[in-house]
């Protein structure tokens, strides 16, 4: 198995995969010029990024399905920090949609001086961990996750992509962006998808009709995405992502962690996360137990 030194770059104390990132791309992100009408969906990895790549173009263009059917998702709504952005940035039409796994402090200077909006998507960290565990098994450009027990320790210590979950959430929760930021959870989106789309639409000033909202909900459903080759990562060569080991779009549900954690693992996980969020002025929408 390749070592983490071969697979990962260190950037500002965080690890990122070399397959999709380079020092040049991280530098490019720092110099990126945000426009006032840009929208960036920010997530900790495995928290609904790909879902937002599906939703944002439809909300921003009034439900036109063309981009979903003609452009692969990583070019349709590129990652701010990945090498691909420099190649596709000129093809993006305003209002541009991006995604990012950056913590707040890594956002480029132009972000802070612009009026660009952020949608921060949070997901129950236990489900994030389970999803990440399977992703590491199928992606050859990531380290082998080891046993589930070992991976829990890595996750809690922040020896995973983009560091500790708690640090990521805290950085964005503390960001003083006023009406430029909207927080939503993966679980809310699963529970009432049309209502979530309506919230996103209102936040972005798109004022979609009820009919368009239903259309977006239908075309951005897990089932619809799983069958769309522009969205399900099946176009990625098998040597990078082996869907036979675990499909990239695996379950798309909330609560799968219950099938994986033992009571000891749960107690350990919960105590660490609780301790790290002590004194924060936001509450989590999920019970950690």
- Known catalytic residues? 101
Distance of alpha carbon 150 from the chain centroid: 23
Let me know how long the chain is.
289
Residue by residue, what is the 3-state secondary structure of 78-137?
CECCCCHHHHHHHHCCCCCEEEECCCHHHCCHHHHHCCCEEEEEECCHHHHHHHHHHHHH
Q: Which of 45, 27, 61, 53 is nearest to 129 (CA)?
A: 45
Cβ neighbours of residue 162 closer than 8 Å, sequence gap 6 or more: 14, 15, 16, 44, 45, 101, 102, 103, 168
The whole-angstrom separation of Cα 55 and Cα 218 is 11
**Would you state the structure tokens that stand for residue 81, as one six-digit string?**
């920090």
The whole-angstrom separation of Cα 225 and Cα 228 is 5
HSE, CB side, 13 Å, CA atoms: give it for residue 224. 14
The whole-angstrom separation of Cα 41 and Cα 156 is 24
Cβ neighbours of residue 262 closer than 8 Å, sequence gap 6 or more: none
**Would you state the structure tokens that stand for residue 255, as one six-digit string?**
């609560």
Q: Find residue 40's DSSP bridge partners.
A: 98, 118
Identify whether the C-beta of residue 250 lies closer than 8 Å to the C-beta of residue 141: no
């Amino acid at each position: 198995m390749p070592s983490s030194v071969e697979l990962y770059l260190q950037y500002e104390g965080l690890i990122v995969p070399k397959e999709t990132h380079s020092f040049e791309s991280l530098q490019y992100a720092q110099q990126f010029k945000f426009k006032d009408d840009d929208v960036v969906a920010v997530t900790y990895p495995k928290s609904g990024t790909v879902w937002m790549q599906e939703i944002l173009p439809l909300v921003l263009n009034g439900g036109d399905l063309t981009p979903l059917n003609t452009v692969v998702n990583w070019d349709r709504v590129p990652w701010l920090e990945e090498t691909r952005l420099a190649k596709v940035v000129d093809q993006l039409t305003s209002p541009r949609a991006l995604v990012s796994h950056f913590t707040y402090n890594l956002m480029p200077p132009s972000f802070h001086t612009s009026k660009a909006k952020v949608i921060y998507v949070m997901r129950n960290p236990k489900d994030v961990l389970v999803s990440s565990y399977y992703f590491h098994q199928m992606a050859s450009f990531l380290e082998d996750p080891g046993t589930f027990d070992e991976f829990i320790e890595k996750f809690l210590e922040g020896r995973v992509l983009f560091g500790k979950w708690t640090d990521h959430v805290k950085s964005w929760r503390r960001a003083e962006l006023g009406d430029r930021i909207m927080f939503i959870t993966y679980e809310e989106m699963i529970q009432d998808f049309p209502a979530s789309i309506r919230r996103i639409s209102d936040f972005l000033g798109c004022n979609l009709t009820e009919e368009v909202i239903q259309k977006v909900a239908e075309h951005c459903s897990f089932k619809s995405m799983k069958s769309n080759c522009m969205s399900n990562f099946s176009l990625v060569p098998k040597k990078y992502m082996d869907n036979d080991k675990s499909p990239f779009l695996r379950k798309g549900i909330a609560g799968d962690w219950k099938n994986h954690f033992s009571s000891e693992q749960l107690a350990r996980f919960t105590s660490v996360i609780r301790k790290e969020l002590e004194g924060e002025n936001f509450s989590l929408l999920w019970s950690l137990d």
